[in-house]
Amino acid sequence: MTIHATLSTGRRRFLQWGAAGAGAMALPGLARAQDKPSEIIVRAWGGAWGESLKAGVADPFTAATGIDVRLDFTEDNEIKPKLWAAVDQGRIPPIHVNWDTTTNATISALRGVTVDLSDLPNLEGLLPLAKPTGLDGYPLVNTYAYVYVCAYRPEAFPDGPPQSWTVMLDPKFKGRVALYDDGIGFNPIAVIAGGGTFDDVPDNMEPGYAFYRKLKENQPLLGEDADFTTWFQNGEIDLACTISVNARAARQSGIAVEWTVPAEGCKVDTDGLWVPKGLPENEEYWAKQFVNFALSEQAQAKWCSLLGLPPVYPGLAPPEDLVGDPSYPTTPEDFARLVSVPSPVLVENQPIWFARFSEIFQG
């Protein structure tokens, strides 16, 4: 593509919509809805995450429909205000499908910027996990579950994997423990590790805060996915609470990392897909088709096995290296070892937890 062509996309898009608008008067709604856009844009996480979406969903979708899929790696938190502003101002949103954490997606749904997906045929027969909680219909659809595991450097644990999260408080690991910089994935676990029970969440988080205050003495590092990988690679940390996908990707690129689910359990959560309001009708149609496709058996099998995560499509076998792995829950007993907080509770309480978390660690 020449620079001229690149620069004139805006105008071409405009002409395209103009054509679509003109067509609207001549053709019945359904036929127009199926006018194929040349591409749809899906926001995704990069690295192992994006590669799995490309191989498992995007490429097969392109093969089946002829529509190119462009991945947009804008961070999930940063695309949020961009989408909200676009919908509020009546502009075309910058992406067609958002691959998002269920919590963030729920917030966007509460804000009313998501399209209802209830009429997607592939919703039928999915595990109950696929249905978002506390919301009417399907303003988003969950696509798989994931676990915030305890990732560790085997060299630092010669006696086997850590049995309890309280190992974080061991002075031996001073400055060598990492958490997400907003405490995400660990807040309910901190309550249990701090002597409370799951029933204390969300009304009595004090045991968790007490755990954090003790942990602060041990000077933990706070970061994000990329930081954890980097830190493990450079021998900066021995232990981190991170999503199993990252630990697995790190191991696959030759970094010495293992993971486990300690006695207190690990937080399990879901990610989902949603389509923003305000797209031209035909593009919204194909964006929904993309989501529908991502829920098909073929896509779920490939996408989720590449991620190493349990899909919402029932009865699919885990990838070979994860059979029996505690970070890949399949049976009710597996799920019993994990801690799941309903999205509405998270949406309501996460800002409060975050404020306390930064009060303790930034103070």
Minimum separation from the CB atom of position 331 to another protein (A): 31
Write down the residue that tokens 């502003």 correspond to: 85
Is the CB of 41 or the CB of 129 nearer to another protein?
Answer: 41
Q: In whole angstroms, give the CA distance from residue 275 to residue 288.
A: 7
Residue 219 phi/psi, 5° resolution? 45, 65
Is the CB of 183 or the CB of 265 nearer to another protein?
Answer: 183
Q: In whole angstroms, give the CA distance from residue 155 to residue 257.
A: 9
Minimum separation from the CB atom of position 192 to another protein (A): 23
Write down the residue that tokens 């620069």 correspond to: 7
- Among the listed residues 171, 156, 337, the one whose alpha carbon sits nearest the alpha carbon of residue 239: 156
Is the CB of 29 or the CB of 363 nearer to another protein?
Answer: 363
Minimum separation from the CB atom of position 235 to another protein (A): 4
Is the CB of 40 or the CB of 129 nearer to another protein?
Answer: 40
Q: What is the DSSP string of 193-209?
A: HTT--GGGTTT--HHHH
Minimum separation from the CB atom of position 94 to another protein (A): 4
Q: In whole angstroms, give the CA distance from residue 207 to residue 210.
A: 5
Is the CB of 107 or the CB of 126 nearer to another protein?
Answer: 107
Minimum separation from the CB atom of position 344 to another protein (A): 10
> Where along the sequence are the contacts to another protein (CB under 8 A)?
1, 3, 6-7, 9-10, 13, 41, 45-50, 70-75, 77-78, 80-82, 85-86, 89, 91, 94-95, 107-108, 110-112, 175, 181-182, 219-227, 229-230, 233-236, 249, 253-255, 347-348, 350-351, 354-355, 358-359, 361-363
Minimum separation from the CB atom of position 157 to another protein (A): 18
Is the CB of 39 or the CB of 116 nearer to another protein?
Answer: 39
Beta-carbon contacts of 116 under 8 Å, excluding residues fewer than 6 positions away, are 137, 138, 139
User: CA distances (Å), 342 to each of 6, 94, 202, 207, 263, in order?
Assistant: 44, 29, 11, 20, 21
Minimum separation from the CB atom of position 225 to another protein (A): 6
Is the CB of 232 or the CB of 293 nearer to another protein?
Answer: 232
Q: In whole angstroms, give the CA distance from residue 199 to residue 192.
A: 9
Q: In whole angstroms, give the CA distance from residue 107 to residue 128.
A: 20
